[in-house]
């Protein structure tokens, strides 16, 4: 396998937890510029993955960055875990629990029936702790500064929402959805639909369109392959 990054490549990367999508882009750009002695190189990602999530990230380089919109528009598949009976302001583990609920009456059958109500086109309000821009600033910056902010709902499509396992208070699930869907927001709404609470504890993106995580490089493996091909000996760390 050989690469021509200025001409254009589409790379499948497995983003680690606690990395932002831009961390991956910036690392790869710096790494490739140094290894290939380039003065500039276009590098972009086709769909943000939250820092607390891991999994498939499509990276485009060179002329292929013009195709980013087409990749962003593809359906996504996720597997995740939520904790029932509690909520957090960020809808995930980034912030502390702010409310708790009794889940003694919740069964797997109840969860499965509730998940069916979210199939099809639904309206969803994105998390305030998100990278959506409001008046030129990321929404999460307003949230972290305790500034009040109301985001507009958007139409998204949930193709599949399956309950995989229930070991109270944790629920393992999978979702296939359209562009623009926030799984954290889906989990929040799911908990509310049961007059209860829920927040996301882990999330992995396993597929974008027909592209699968099983075909993705880890960042370290990708760098090692480039170093092997080029004979460049000085690895570059994040």
Q: At which residue do the structure tokens 């497995």 appear?
A: 14
CATH architecture of 9-73+211-230: 2-Layer Sandwich (3.30)
What is the pTM assigned to this prediction?
0.89
Q: Are strands 211-212 and 198-208 parallel, antiparallel or unpaired?
A: antiparallel
Residue 237 confidence (pLDDT): 43
For the domain made up of 76-208, give the CATH fold. Answer: Pseudouridine synthase (3.30.2350)
d(CA 161, CA 117): 9
Residue 236 confidence (pLDDT): 44
Q: What 3-state class would DSSP assign to 3?
A: coil
Query: Could you check whether 9-73+211-230 and 76-208 share the same CATH topology?
Result: yes
d(CA 22, CA 33): 16
Residue 126 confidence (pLDDT): 83
Residue 148 confidence (pLDDT): 60
Low-confidence residues of the chain, pLDDT below 70? 129-149, 151, 233-238
d(CA 10, CA 1): 13
Angle between helices 108-116 and 183-193 (to 10 degrees): 120
DSSP type of residue 43? E
Give me 112's structure tokens.
């499965």
Q: Is-contact 64 155, C-beta < 8 A?
A: no
The catalytic site residues sit at 50
Q: Is-contact 170 84, C-beta < 8 A?
A: yes
Q: Where are the domains of the chain?
A: 9-73+211-230, 76-208
Residue 127 confidence (pLDDT): 78
């Amino acid at each position: 396998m050989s690469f021509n990054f200025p001409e254009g490549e589409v790379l499948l990367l497995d983003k680690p937890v606690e990395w932002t999508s831009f961390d991956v882009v910036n690392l790869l750009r710096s790494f490739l510029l140094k290894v290939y002695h380039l003065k500039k190189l276009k590098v972009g990602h086709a769909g943000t993955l939250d820092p607390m999530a891991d999994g498939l990230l499509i990276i485009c380089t060179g002329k292929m960055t013009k195709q980013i919109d087409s990749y962003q528009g593809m359906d996504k598949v996720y597997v995740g875990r939520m904790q029932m009976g509690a909520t957090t302001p960020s809808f995930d583990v980034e912030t502390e629990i702010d409310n708790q609920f009794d889940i003694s009456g919740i069964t797997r059958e109840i969860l499965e029936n509730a998940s069916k109500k979210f199939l099809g086109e639904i309206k969803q309000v994105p998390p305030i702790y998100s990278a959506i821009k409001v008046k030129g600033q990321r929404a999460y910056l307003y949230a972290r500064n305790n500034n009040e902010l109301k985001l507009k709902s958007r139409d998204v499509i949930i193709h599949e929402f399956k309950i995989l396992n229930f070991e109270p208070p944790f629920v393992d699930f999978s979702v296939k959805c359209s562009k623009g869907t926030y799984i954290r927001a889906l989990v929040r709404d799911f908990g509310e639909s049961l007059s209860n609470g829920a927040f996301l504890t882990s999330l992995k993106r396993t597929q974008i369109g027909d592209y699968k995580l099983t075909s993705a490089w880890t960042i370290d493996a990708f760098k090692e392959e480039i170093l092997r091909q080029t004979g460049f000996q000085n690895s570059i760390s994040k």
